[in-house]
Structure formats: structure tokens, C-alpha cells
């Protein structure tokens, strides 16, 4: 019998890796630092996911259930790996409660941290109650409360969604595009219009990156079917006139200053490297890339590899990823880990 595979992190990537391994008869130990499985979509209470349109609690909840029900998967919640020694095929991990785990291979599926909008203070978050994030609006929808202004509970007449908050912003050291927030925002705008048909929704953008098939399904549908308005702009600041929020900036198509009042302003927050990545890098002996995400092996021969043989990686731990891609990467890492734990030689990272 081969040694178990250690999977760290139980978001879409870790859940899919654990399930794929167990489906092939492989024993798995799954370590999650929070008190629940499911990763960001469950922990942050996402509403309907793109592109499936399924509620996160159902779609990701189903993935959680099949992992919880699988006798080949042992789960440790509220737990992190403190030490990790040995080599590919024969690792020993110690958890914070002292539990020792022998593992043939490891998959790091430790995901990302949401950008904290207080790092963009000129856009009003933390100053004005009615400046919120996409995750907060998702929670309003998924909890059944509906979209309301936090300051007084009223239905907003006018909502602005600001894209690229904490992404594509060199001033605050975040050069990367978070990949999915244009699509998520177009979807959210349509959900707001569905719930509140009299509410005007504006999306402020630099560029729109509703990549691939999402262009028609989200970008065009939000404008043509849901009458969401798009404004190409550089935003200077979000202030208040005492009654309403004011979004100030420049319309970059007509090159004119604009000042438009809103009841609610939504930050489309991006994906930062997991705040634990320095620790994960030290404990597991794997490299980080220049922004602080876990570095992937740069080889098509080893898509899930890291800088340490036998330690694989999947999902948003390596940079912004969608759920679909995180699930696929979890399955790919599972195959590499399975081969190694059963004695096959897997190509090490370059």
C-alpha cells in the first residue's frame, strides 16, 4: 500500500485533488487551517458562481460533501503543517497539534487572500459605510438579505462598481490582473438589476477582460439585456456630499472630468498572494515568484511542480485563477502525486 498524499488547503483546488486521488484508491490526508472545508467560495459566502450560475453553497458544498463522505480521506480542520521533512516518496509532516503524517507526496492548494480595500483609501472604503466590496455584495445576495445600503438599509437607486481594485495597480505594488473580477462584476451587476429593476448600475473600467466565451454571456448580456452602463474612466477619489457618494475621475474616452453621485459604491477586489506564503515557503522549502505567489515549475513537462521534488501546487496559490482552472489543476496535481506515491518517477521542477 502506498503512503498517503498530503493535501494542504480545501478550496476548489484541494477538494478536487483529494477527490481525484481517493477515486483512484489513494489514501489522502487533507489539512485545512479554517474550521470548514470549501475555501474562498464558502468562507466568503459567494452567491451565484460564474460561469455555471449555481449557488456557491450548492456547487462547492457538493464538492465538500463528497470529500467528507469518502473513507479514504482523513481531514484535519483548524490545522496547519508546522514542519515538513524528508524527500519525495518519504515525507514526514508534523501538524500544529503534534500529529505526525507520513506522505509520499504533497499538494499545496492554499489559495489566495482577498485584497483588503483599506489599502486603497482614496476610493472611500473604511471611510464611508456605503462603499463595500464585491464579496460583501455577494454575501448580501447569498444570505437572502438582498442588496441594501449598509448605512440605513435602503435600496440603492444608483450603484457604481469600480473594477481593478487591488489589481493592475503599480502604485500599490499589484501589477497582476485578477482574471475573473470583470466577469464576476458583470454577473453581479445583472443580479442587482434582477433584484432591483429600478436601480441604475454603472461599471467603471480601464479595460474589460471578460475573456473567452464570457464576452457574450456577461459583457454584452449585461449591457443589452440588463441595461448596465459601462464608463471607461480613471478614478481619482470617492467622496461624499453629505447625502450621496460622489465618484470623481476622468472619462478617458472623451477626456473630460466626471463627478457622478451614487448610493452605493462597490470595489471589485482582486486576489492577493496568500498571507501565509512566506511561512509555507519556509516550511515546505518551495520558492515564491516575484509577487509572492507560490512559484510553479516553468516546464510543460511538470505543470503542477514546484521547486521541490514531490511537492506539487494547484489553484490560486500560484496566482489568480478561476474555479474551473483551480479544479482542473487540482486533478492534474493529483495525477502527478499519485504517480509519485506509487513509485513512478515524476519529472522534478527545473
Ligand X SMILES: Cc1cc2nc3c(=O)[nH]c(=O)nc-3n(C[C@H](O)[C@H](O)[C@H](O)COP(=O)(O)OP(=O)(O)OC[C@H]3O[C@@H](n4cnc5c(N)ncnc54)[C@H](O)[C@@H]3O)c2cc1C
Q: What does the binding site for ligand SF4 look like in residue numbers (CB under 6 A)?
A: 163-164, 167-168, 177-179, 181-182, 207, 209, 268, 270
Q: Assess contact for 265 and 165: CB atoms under 8 A.
A: no
Mention every residue, 6+ apart, whose C-beta is less than 8 A from residue 223: 229, 230
* Alpha carbons within 13 A on the beta-carbon side of 27: 9
How many residues touch ligand X under the rule CB under 6 A: the total is: 40
Strand pairing of 256-262 and 264-269?
unpaired
Binding residues for ligand X restricted to 158-187, rule: CB under 6 A: 180, 184
Q: Which does 322 bind (CB under 5 to 8 A by kind): ligand X, ligand SF4, none?
A: ligand X
Q: Which residue matches cell numbers 470583470? A: 182
Q: Which does 238 bind (CB under 5 to 8 A by kind): ligand SF4, ligand X, none?
A: none
Binding string, residues 62-101; x marks residues near ligand X by CB under 6 A: ------------------x---------------------
Q: Which does 321 bind (CB under 5 to 8 A by kind): ligand SF4, ligand X, none?
A: ligand X
**Which grid cell sits at 334?**
493529483
Q: Which does 9 bind (CB under 5 to 8 A by kind): ligand X, ligand SF4, none?
A: ligand X
Site membership for ligand X, residue 46 (CB under 6 A):
yes
Cβ-based nearer residue to ligand SF4, 209 or 296: 209
Cα 35 to Cα 20, 43, 100, 126, distances in angstroms: 23, 9, 20, 27
Among 315, 334, 337, 341, contact with ligand X (rule: CB under 6 A): 315
DSSP string, 35-103: SSSS-HHHHTT--BPTTT--BHHHHHHHHHHHHHT-TTEEEE-S--EEEEEEETTEEEEEETTS-EEEE
Q: Assess contact for 321 and 329: CB atoms under 8 A.
A: yes
Cβ-based nearer residue to ligand X, 49 or 105: 49
The H-or-E segment that residue 6 falls in is strand 5-8
Nearest approach, Cβ of 17 to ligand X (angstroms)? 9
d(CA 235, CA 29): 47
Q: Which does 166 bind (CB under 5 to 8 A by kind): ligand X, ligand SF4, none?
A: none
Q: Which does 110 bind (CB under 5 to 8 A by kind): ligand SF4, ligand X, none?
A: ligand X
Nearest approach, Cβ of 293 to ligand SF4 (angstroms)? 15
Amino acid at each position: 500500500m502506498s503512503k498517503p498524499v498530503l493535501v494542504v488547503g480545501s478550496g476548489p483546488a484541494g477538494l478536487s485533488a483529494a477527490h481525484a486521488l481517493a477515486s483512484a484508491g489513494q489514501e489522502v490526508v487533507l489539512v485545512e487551517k479554517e474550521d470548514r472545508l470549501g475555501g474562498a467560495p464558502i468562507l466568503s459566502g459567494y452567491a451565484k458562481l460564474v460561469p455555471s450560475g449555481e449557488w456557491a453553497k450548492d456547487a462547492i458544498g457538493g464538492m465538500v460533501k463528497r470529500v467528507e463522505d469518502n473513507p479514504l480521506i482523513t481531514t484535519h480542520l483548524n490545522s496547519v503543517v508546522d514542519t515538513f521533512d524528508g524527500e519525495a516518496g518519504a515525507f514526514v509532516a508534523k501538524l500544529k497539534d503534534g500529529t505526525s503524517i507520513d506522505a509520499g507526496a504533497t499538494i499545496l492548494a492554499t489559495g489566495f487572500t482577498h485584497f483588503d480595500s483599506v489599502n486603497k483609501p482614496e476610493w472611500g472604503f473604511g471611510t464611508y459605510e456605503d462603499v463595500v466590496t464585491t464579496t460583501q455584495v455577494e454575501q448580501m445576495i447569498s444570505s437572502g438579505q438582498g442588496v441594501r445600503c449598509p448605512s440605513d438599509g435602503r435600496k440603492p437607486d444608483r450603484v457604481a462598481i469600480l473594477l481593478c481594485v487591488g489589481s493592475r495597480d503599480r502604485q500599490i505594488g499589484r501589477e497582476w490582473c485578477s482574471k475573473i473580477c470583470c466577469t464576476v462584476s458583470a454577473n453581479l451587476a445583472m443580479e442587482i438589476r434582477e433584484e432591483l429593476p429600478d436601480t441604475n448600475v454603472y461599471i467603471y473600467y480601464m479595460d474589460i477582460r471578460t475573456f473567452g466565451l464570457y464576452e457574450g454571456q456577461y459583457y454584452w448580456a449585461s449591457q443589452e439585456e440588463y441595461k448596465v452602463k459601462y464608463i471607461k474612466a480613471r478614478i481619482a477619489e470617492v467622496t461624499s456630499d453629505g447625502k450621496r457618494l460622489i465618484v470623481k475621475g476622468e472619462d478617458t474616452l472623451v477626456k473630460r472630468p466626471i463627478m457622478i453621485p451614487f448610493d452605493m459604491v462597490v470595489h471589485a477586489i482582486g486576489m492577493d498572494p496568500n498571507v501565509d506564503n512566506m511561512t509555507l515557503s519556509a516550511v515546505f522549502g518551495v520558492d515564491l515568484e516575484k509577487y509572492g505567489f507560490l512559484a510553479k515549475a516553468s516546464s510543460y513537462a511538470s505543470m503542477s511542480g514546484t521547486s521541490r521534488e514531490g511537492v506539487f501546487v494547484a489553484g490560486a496559490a500560484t496566482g489568480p485563477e478561476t474555479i474551473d482552472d483551480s479544479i482542473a489543476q487540482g486533478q492534474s496535481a493529483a495525477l502527478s502525486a499519485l504517480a509519485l506515491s506509487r513509485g513512478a518517477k515524476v519529472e522534478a521542477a527545473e
